[in-house]
Structure 1
Amino acid sequence: MSSILRIATYNIHKGVQGLGPARRLEIHNLAHAVEQFDADIVCLQEVRRHHRKFEKQFTRWPNLDQAGYLSPEGYESVYRTNATTRHGEHGNALLSRWPVVDIRHSDVSDHRFEQRGLLHVNLLIDGVEVHVIVVHLGLMHAGRERQVRRLGEYIATAVPSQVPMVVAGDFNDWGAQLLRPMAALDLHTFEGIRLATYPSRLPLLHLDRIFVRGLRLVSAHVPHGRVWARMSDHLPLIAEIELQ
Structure 2
Amino acid sequence: MLQRALGSHGVGARAISTADGDYGQALISRWPLVNTEIHDLSFRRREPRRAISTDMVGPFGSMRIVATHLGLSLRERRSQINKLLAMLGGRDDPTLAMGDFNDWFWAGSVRRNLARVLPDCSRHRTFPAVLPLFALDGIYLWPSGLLVASWTDPEARTLSDHLPVIADIDLGRANA
TM-score, normalization by structure 1: 0.63
Match of 2:111 in 1: 179
Q: Residue 167 of structure 2 corresponds to which residue in structure 1?
A: 239
Displacement, 1:165? 0.9
**Number of positions where the alignment pairs a residue of Structure 1 with one of Structure 2:** 168
The answer for the alignment partner of 2:156 in structure 1 is 228
Aligned to 2:81: 148
Distance in 1 (CA, whole Å) between partners of 2:41 and 2:7 is: 31
Alignment partner for residue 67 of structure 2, among 134, 137, 141?
A: 134
> Cα offset for 1:89?
2.9
Normalization by structure 2: what TM-score?
0.85
% same residue: 32
Q: What is the SS of the residue equivalent to 2:121?
A: coil
CA deviation string 1:109-133 (max 9, x = no partner) = 1122310011112111215111111
Aligned equivalents of 2:142, 2:88: Cα separation in 1: 11
CA separation in 2, counterparts of 1:96 and 1:162?
21
Identify the residue that residue 164 of structure 1 maps to in structure 2: 94
Tell whether the 8 Å contact from 1:162 to 1:214 is kept in structure 2 after alignment.
no
- C-alpha deviations, 1:138-186, integer Å up to 9, x for none? 0011211111011122334xxx5211111000000013422221123x1
Matched, 1:208 2:137: yes
Q: Which has the higher contact order (CA 8 A, sep 6+)?
A: 1
The answer (yes or no) to whether the contact 2:55–2:62 under 8 Å persists in 1 is yes
Tell me the alpha carbon deviations over residues 56-84 of structure 1, each in whole angstroms, 9 at most, x when there is no partner.
Answer: xxxxxxxxxxxxx1121643221121223
Unaligned ranges ≥5, structure 1 = 1-68
**Distance of 2:64 and 2:2 partners within structure 1:** 21
Q: Determine if contact 1:189/1:209 at 8 Å carries over to the other structure.
A: no
Task: Extract structure 1 runs of 4+ deviating beyond 3 A.
Answer: 84-88
Q: 2:125 aligns to what SS in structure 1?
A: coil
What is the alpha-carbon distance in structure 2 between the residues aligned to residue 74 and residue 217 of structure 1?
21
Superimposed CA distance per residue, residues 85-105 of structure 1 (whole angstroms, 9 cap, x where no aligned partner): 465432110110112223111
- Quote the residue 1:190 is aligned against: 121
Contact 2:70 2:100 in 1 (8 A): yes
Distance 1:142 1:76, change over 3 A: same
- Equivalent residue, structure 1, for 2:11: 78
Is the 8 Å Cα contact of residues 53 and 87 (structure 2) preserved in structure 1? no
8 Å Cα contact 1:219-1:239 kept in structure 2:
yes
Match of 1:112 in 2: 45
CA–CA separation in structure 2 for the residues paired with 1:183 and 1:113: 26
Structure 2, unpaired ranges of 5+: none
Query: SS of the counterpart of 2:27?
Result: strand
The structure with the largest alpha-carbon Rg is 1
Q: 2:44 corresponds to which letter in structure 1?
A: H
